[in-house]
Chain A
Amino acid sequence: MFEKRRISASKCNLVSSSDFNSCIDSHDYGCQPQGNVYLSGVPSCKQLGLVLPDGLLQDILSFCDGVTLAKLVQTCREFYVIGHQPELWRDLVLIDSQDHALVNVGDCWKDTYILQQKLQCEHRSHKPMKIPGFFSDHFYQTHLCRSFVIPNEWLTVENGTVDRIEGISIQEFLENYEIPNQPVVLAGACKNWKAMNWKYKEYLLQALQMEKKRSLRATSGAASFASYFTVESYLDYCQSNQLEEAPLYLFDREALLDGPLREDYFPHLQRDCPYFDPSRTKENTHDLLQLLGENRRPDHSWLIIGPQRSGSSFHIDPNATHAWNATIVGRKRWLFYPPGQTPPGIHPSSDGDDVIMPISVGEWLTKYWDAHVERCQTLPLTEQPIECTVQAGDIVFVPHGWWHSVLNLDAPYNIAITHNYVSKSNLSNVLRFFESKQSQISGCRDRPGVALQPEEIGAEFQKGLRQHYPTWLQQAQQTGKWTCKAWEDKKTEKASNQKNIKKWESGRKKKRSRKENNGSSVLAKSKQQE
């Protein structure tokens, strides 16, 4: 029986930022924070680091190939540490594997790089040495962001402020959540799906490799290049459990369109969650973008796999769509900020085209948690951020316009499926988005000739609606304005915020463009990181 429950966030066990600002492990190479140099009694091993800051030394090394790095790490202690930063080796691997899937994965990126070289000589795995006297805030910060403690008391399913409901009818869902645009966790909604078999690696391998040996794409907010894996090599990567800031996150937009994976959940979805069912029936029509045709519509469904500590930084889902996300394996922690409430550390431009933000969930948690707690305790109830943990078998409804960030909690990997859709409740905003935010439309540019392009989508969508749902189209068009604060025209708080950020904030921030780059917008990519 449905029972609505909205708990004030101040009652949620929020933990403190000091919990996130401790590491599960000391730095592999012995790096300590800069300040420790005054207390440790060990002299600093900095040499070139006395002249150039660590961040710039890393920039220089980012131009070096693997052989050069391998020679450099033999020069002195300072370069032993800097030259072994995993991001350097990761980027070298990714550059080399842009046109084919990575098949052999080592315990660390350096090992993976060496495996790629296919050398004759025998090579043993890299064993990090701890170096005395390496003090650096820059490198210690990265270490913190990849190995921050995830406090257990924060993670329980009971510790959350998003409604958690078991068993709900179509009417209840629409009236209490979709129409009012509120997130909800549908507890256990997919626990009986055949898709739960995906937790068995063999099952997943078989289902995904039955078709052509497609390579699967994984991305990360911290990597400049996408990566390509086979299913097997990606699961190996997850299993290697190497600590990384923003691990590569796989999601595939084709796996669920047809074939065995779709059959493992689709009929069950229709039965258990008819409010998400995209089949068009007269009364209960969801997923109106189906009118465009399966291939012509923007990307809308993804199989998502990620290792522990992978996740997506705060973003709003693309094209003003709603989404549902079903957890098949592992737990996730979700953080939500209501439409119009920009989370701390996130700075969208006035037109929304660009967003300046931390490069990883880890960085956000270690830096902005206190600001987050303050919002929880001071904002009015309806504007407060909310959060929850979901476990295998749960489904989350993500209403359009809500900022959200997700952290994968379990090892070796976490699997979910997600669909984005348009229904009557967000139709007017979607139409407005297609018309006025064309630069932000995503999920189609890298399929020219197949997918409708941004300049075509609005008109085609309206054509389909005119034919099948003329009343809904008319009602949506009559609204005359945004009905969600996420896109309401803001007055000029704009550029002054942007430049202040540049002046005062840490240089670790990454500027992300919501406009599409190389065919797939970063917002869409962020979507991909759930």
Chain B
Amino acid sequence: MAAEVQTVNNISLVSKEGDSFEVSEDVAQMSELVKSLMEDNDTEEETAEIPLRNVKATVLQKVIEFCQHHGEEPMTEIEKPLRSQKMADVVQEWYANYVDVEQVVLFELILAANYMDIKPLLDLACATVASMIKDKTPEEIRTRFNITNDFSLEEEAKVREENKWCEEA
């Protein structure tokens, strides 16, 4: 009796710059975009090539890291609204560490997760930004995200007055 050989299909994800990253089919299919492009690609080739022209190599690498880990340790669903501003309180340690990155990388992850349609990653990255807003005063939020206060004096007074309740809550 011939032994059954398990063929693990590998998918090649190609970044904007043309770099190729080989991943297993399971990992690749975490991206709904890749999944649907794979159905398009119905060829007999051993390694399908999926171009991802909107995703830089560094970001793609980070996305793949997420997908690979998720296969081994699925991320817990992040409850809304966040109970804590520390990501370690709302998600497993590995994931909390994963998103402990510079803001610019975080935003790139959000855009990539949105483009590639990977919901857990999108949730994680969005929740992380939300955690950076939580428990801060308006001025602290502005500083953190480099936002200009463009209210007129009248507008600003109105908004502050109307939201005084949040000081008590």
Contacts and interface: CB of A to CB of B under 8 A. Distances in A.
Contacts of A60: 110, 126, 129-130, 133
Contacts of B64: none
Point out which of B81, B127, B164 has the most chain A C-beta atoms below 10 A from its C-beta. B81
B140 to A, nearest CB: 9
Interface in A27-72: 45, 47-48, 51-53, 56, 59-68, 70-72
B29 interface: no
A97 to B, nearest CB: 14
A5 interface: no
Interface in B135-169: 135-138, 141-142, 145, 147-151, 155-156, 158-160, 162-166, 168-169
A91 B165 contact: no
A75 B147 contact: yes
B111 interface: yes
A76 interface: yes
A73 B82 contact: no
Given A119-B169, A503-B36, A70 B130 contact: no
A47 B36 contact: no
A234 interface: no
A121 B161 CA distance: 12
A61 B147 contact: no
B97 to A, nearest CB: 19
A77 interface: yes
Contact of A121 (B80, B130, B159, B164): B164
A66 B138 contact: no
Given A56-B110, A63-B130, A129-B155, A76 B147 contact: yes
Contacts of B75: none
Interface string B45-65: 000000000000000000000
Contacts of A496: 39
B130 A61 contact: yes
B149 A66 contact: no
A249 to B, nearest CB: 22
A74 interface: yes
B122 interface: yes
A422 to B, nearest CB: 38
Contacts of A121: 164-165, 168
B165 to A, nearest CB: 5
Contacts of B164: 121
Interface in B80-134: 80-82, 107, 110-111, 114, 117, 122, 126-127, 129-131, 133-134
Interface residues of B, number: 46
Contact of B138 (A63, A75, A91): A75
Contact of B40 (A63, A72, A131, A499): A499
A48 B78 CA distance: 23
A64 B85 CA distance: 10
Interface centre among A72, A92, A124, A126 (most CB of B within 10 A): A72
B22 interface: no
Contact of B166 (A53, A70, A92): A70
Contacts of B129: 60
A114 interface: yes
B39 A68 contact: no
Nearest to A496: B39
Contacts of B78: 63
A396 to B, nearest CB: 38
B32 interface: yes
B151 to A, nearest CB: 6
A378 B75 CA distance: 50
A66 B137 contact: no
Contact of B126 (A59, A77, A129): A59
A73 B80 CA distance: 19
Contact of B81 (A52, A65, A124, A131): A65
Interface string A348-374: 000000000000000000000000000
A1 interface: no
A74 B169 contact: no
Contact of A63 (B126, B141, B147): B126
A156 B149 CA distance: 50
A466 B142 CA distance: 73
Contact of A72 (B114, B138, B150): B138
B113 to A, nearest CB: 9
A50 to B, nearest CB: 11
- 8 interchain residue pairs of minimum CB distance: A63-B130, A70-B166, A499-B36, A65-B81, A74-B138, A70-B163, A60-B126, A67-B166
Interface of B: 32-33, 36, 39-40, 78, 80-82, 107, 110-111, 114, 117, 122, 126-127, 129-131, 133-138, 141-142, 145, 147-151, 155-156, 158-160, 162-166, 168-169
Given A499-B40, A502-B117, 8 more contacts: A56-B110, A63-B130, A64-B130, A95-B80, A127-B162, A129-B159, A496-B39, A502-B36
25 contacts: A45-B150, A52-B110, A56-B114, A61-B130, A63-B81, A64-B81, A64-B133, A64-B134, A67-B169, A68-B135, A71-B163, A73-B159, A74-B159, A75-B149, A76-B142, A95-B81, A119-B169, A120-B168, A121-B165, A123-B165, A127-B162, A129-B159, A495-B39, A496-B39, A499-B40
